[in-house]
Chains A and B, each alone.
Chain A
Amino acid sequence: DGGITQSPKYLFRKEGQNVTLSCEQNLNHDAMYWYRQDPGQGLRLIYYSQIVNDFQKGDIAEGYSVSREKKESFPLTVTSAQKNPTAFYLCASSSGQGDQPQHFGDGTRLSIL
């Protein structure tokens, strides 16, 4: 079945540690996105990529980094510079056309140890 796979489902980070969240899609979508969701809040855009080997900062990119070496994959690294990383992270993909919905993965919940 086509879809988006995020792993791991739960992740714990120690102080000063970088962690990487995986996102893979087999929908043949050009565009991919990372969002952060905090309790009781909407989704805030961290990074997005419209095409392979290209990505742009979203509204809250500080403390995060991404890569887009393959169409199917868009991993997100939460660096030690992100001082408040505890949140629910959602990856999405779309064809990139404005009228097309974004399709979401199941999310990764990141906590601080």
Chain B
Amino acid sequence: AQKVTQAQTEISVVEKEDVTLDCVYETRDTTYYLFWYKQPPSGELVFLIRRNSFDEQNEISGRYSWNFQKSTSSFNFTITASQVVDSAVYFCALSEAVHNFNKFYFGSGTKLNVKP
């Protein structure tokens, strides 16, 4: 079973539209961490945000916001007023302890196309 599911394979929006990228995770641990990464066409994964399992506060950073809901095991990412530069593949990841090692599980990614 997938530990991290990103059901949206690809999303296309027009510039200035708001867009939400979904992420659903699965874990039995009470302590775990959730991350979002951005992968532009150049290939490098860029870290965007981290959340721990005890902090359900939503976070806003400029045009980006994240909604963490333990009740639904979701950690969704919203981009407000999207821009062409937001076009990339976005990955959600879960980190949990496995035999004294914090293993990362990545979703399959959501490709976001923002058209001018």
Contact = CB atoms under 8 A, between A and B. Distances in A.
A102 B32 CA distance: 15
Interface stretch (A14-22, A64-72, A103-111): A103-111
Nearest to B100: A50
B67 interface: no
Interface residues of B, number: 27
Contact of A90 (B31, B45, B95, B107): B45
A95 to B, nearest CB: 10
Interface in A63-84: none
Interface string B39-50: 000111111001
Contacts of A41: 108-109
Contacts, number: 58
Contacts of B43: 88, 90, 106-107, 109
Interface string B70-105: 000000000000000000000100011100011110
A104 B93 CA distance: 14
Contact of A98 (B33, B106, B107, B108): B33
B15 to A, nearest CB: 24
Interface string A35-68: 1000011110100101000001000000000000
A46 B19 CA distance: 33
